[in-house]
């Protein structure tokens, strides 16, 4: 009688629905691949947002430098640089001014950097300003 109960219990264990070890490992591999893909997508999105935010603030710096330059009516052909404090960061800029061949057009190129070495530019603004002949400093 004891042996009959044993066989009966073994049959119950073998007939129970459940996952094998291979099925569990395969599902873990699939889950890890999916979670890694989601992590990479989120990481890419954060990096893109950071770059976009940096370019936005650099455009504000370039716009500010351009407006200050126009306010003081600096029309001579030269290259100047400086720095601006904005959003708790120091931004470095270079402005190159060139007078057109006919003397009636001024080209201003403002480049913004986030480091003092000014190796990699973040933003560049190029603008053309119409001039009267008497405004040009030669």
Q: What is the pLDDT of residues 74-133, one digit of tens each?
A: 777 788 999 999 999 999 999 999 888 787 888 999 999 998 888 889 999 999 888 876
Distances (CA, A) of 11 to 3, 5, 48: 13, 10, 58
Model confidence pTM above 0.75: no
φ and ψ of 54, to 5 deg: -65, -40
Q: How far apart are CA 129 and CA 110, in angstroms?
A: 13
Specify the number of domains making up the chain: 1
User: pLDDT (tens digit, 9 = 90+) per residue, 5-62?
Assistant: 666 666 655 666 788 899 999 999 999 999 999 999 999 999 999 999 999 999 999 9
Question: Angle at the Cα of 31 (from 29 to 34), degrees rounded to 5?
Answer: 110
Other Cβ atoms closer than 10 A to 67: 10
37: domain CATH number is 3.30.1300.30
pLDDT of residue 78: 85
Q: How far apart are CA 2 and CA 9, in angstroms?
A: 11
Strand order in the sheet with 89-99: 79-86, 89-99, 105-113, 121-130
pLDDT of residue 76: 74
* 113 and 121 Cβ atoms separated by less than 8 Å: yes
**Full domain range(s) for residue 17:** 2-135
Q: How far apart are CA 126 and CA 84, in angstroms?
A: 19
pLDDT of residue 118: 84
Q: E strand or H helix at 65, and its extent?
A: helix 21-71
């Amino acid at each position: 009688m004891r042996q009959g109960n044993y066989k009966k219990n073994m049959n119950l264990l073998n007939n129970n629905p459940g996952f094998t070890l291979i099925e569990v490992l395969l599902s873990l591999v699939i889950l890890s691949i999916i979670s890694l893909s989601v992590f990479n997508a989120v990481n890419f999105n954060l990096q893109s947002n950071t770059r976009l935010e940096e370019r936005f603030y650099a455009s504000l710096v370039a716009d500010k430098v351009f407006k200050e330059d126009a306010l003081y009516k600096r029309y001579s052909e030269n290259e100047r640089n400086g720095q601006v404090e904005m959003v708790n960061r120091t931004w470095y800029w270079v402005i190159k001014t060139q007078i057109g061949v006919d003397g009636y057009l001024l080209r201003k190129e403002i480049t913004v950097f986030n480091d003092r070495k000014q190796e990699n530019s973040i933003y560049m603004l190029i603008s053309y300003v119409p001039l009267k002949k008497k405004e040009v400093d030669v």
